[in-house]
């Protein structure tokens, strides 16, 4: 958890989504406001970061509390910053 302080919001959110290695579907136990508070962000920022993760092809938001992990390996690479892209850039844009 301590390393979350040093990551940007998009990477902090991505890491929190893949913390559970059990499956590809994440059922959030909290709403986006609570998740934002946990990550040190607003609900709106969390929602926007989820949208960016979805546009990257990492996740699909199926409902406000259900996120499908589409590419766990790519998320791991992204979190580590090995993809060479800043967090705000979207491939193909």
- For 28-84, how does the pLDDT look when each residue is reduced to its tens digit (9 = 90+)? 888 999 999 999 999 999 999 999 999 999 999 999 889 999 999 999 999 998 755
Question: Does residue 66 fall inside a structural domain?
Answer: yes
Question: Does residue 9 fall inside a structural domain?
Answer: yes
Number of Cβ within a 10 Å radius of residue 9: 19
Domain count, the chain: 1
N-terminal to C-terminal alpha carbon distance within the chain: 32
Is it the case that residue 4 has pLDDT exceeding 70? no
Reported as a single tens digit per residue, the pLDDT across 11-37 is 999 999 998 766 788 888 889 999 999
Question: Does residue 85 fall inside a structural domain?
Answer: no
Q: What is the CATH number of the domain that holds 57?
A: 1.10.10.10
Question: Does residue 41 fall inside a structural domain?
Answer: yes
Q: How far apart are CA 79 and CA 15, in angstroms?
A: 7
Is it the case that residue 93 has pLDDT exceeding 50? no
Q: How far apart are CA 42 and CA 34, in angstroms?
A: 9
């Amino acid at each position: 958890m301590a390393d979350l302080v040093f990551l940007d919001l998009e990477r902090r959110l991505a890491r929190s989504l893949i913390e559970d290695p059990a499956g590809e579907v994440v059922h959030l136990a909290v709403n986006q406001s609570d998740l934002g508070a946990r990550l040190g962000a607003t609900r709106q920022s969390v929602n926007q970061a989820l949208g960016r993760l979805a546009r990257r092809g990492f996740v699909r938001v199926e409902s406000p509390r259900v996120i499908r992990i589409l590419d766990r390996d790519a998320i791991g690479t992204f979190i580590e910053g090995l993809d060479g892209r800043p967090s705000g850039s979207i491939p193909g844009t």
